[in-house]
Amino acid sequence: MRNNRMVKIGLILALSALCALSAAARSPTPKRPIGNKVMIVGRIALKQDIARAFYAKSFGVSADAADTYLLPNKACRGSKRLNKGEAYTNVGDFFFITYTLPKDRVFRFDGCLLQFFGKKELMIGVPLRLSCPVPEGVKYLYIGTYVIDVANNDFVIRDIQARDEYDLAKEELLRRVGNRATLFRSPVSQEKDQRCKSSFFFPVDGTNGFWTTID
């Protein structure tokens, strides 16, 4: 009896530890960028929700699953090879991602992939094509909030509106990294004529998987 109880307690403790580790892996504390790296802060949101209950049934997924988005791990037409347990950002939440700046210190950013219901087979590319000069010494850069207007009948992006939510972004950043961070706001321009070339690799099993691009 006593042994059984000890086993049960052990199992509960092990499960708790696993849950804690898993939670920690999902929300790591951002590290202060060093060298020519800069942490980009922004937010991707949907202008209005899709007909969630309807599409959950048509896609055969749970209506409770959150929409997520994923950014490339290299700025300026970079690629993103996903790892097991890769952290996604929920649509509507701020993202914090560190990139290495090119020599001209102009941050260029193709955009992201948005996955409805968090499913890789239900994705759309979100082309942002941002360009933003970054002065020397800047470690934290705010690039704006981008509100995506997705048509509810065919998921085509009708419009992407930029919003300035600097104060909110700064508050969120300081909450994460402490008062040592100074969030820089730089004029961001959009290169609408260029095609996005950032790519994402989704592993399916072992070494197999598929690539996709934003545009």
Count of C-beta atoms within a 10 Å radius of residue 191: 15
Footprint (CB under 8 A) of another protein, residues 109-168: 116, 120-125, 150, 152-157
Q: Which of 34, 35, 60, 84 binds another protein (CB under 8 A)?
A: 60
Residue among 27 and 58 whose Cβ is closer to another protein: 58
Q: For residue 166, what are its two tokens? A: 């600097």
* 58 touches another protein by CB under 8 A: yes
Show the 3-state SS of 76-130.
Answer: CCCEEECCCCCCCEECCCEEEEEEECCCCCEEEEEEEEEEHHHCCCCEEEEEEEE
Q: Write out the H or E segment, with its range, that includes residue 13.
A: helix 2-26
Residue among 92 and 125 whose Cβ is closer to another protein: 125
Q: Which of 51, 62, 74, 87 binds another protein (CB under 8 A)?
A: 51
Q: How many chain residues interact with another protein (CB under 8 A)?
A: 35
Binding site for another protein (CB under 8 A): 51, 53-60, 116, 120-125, 150, 152-157, 199, 202, 204-205, 207-213, 215
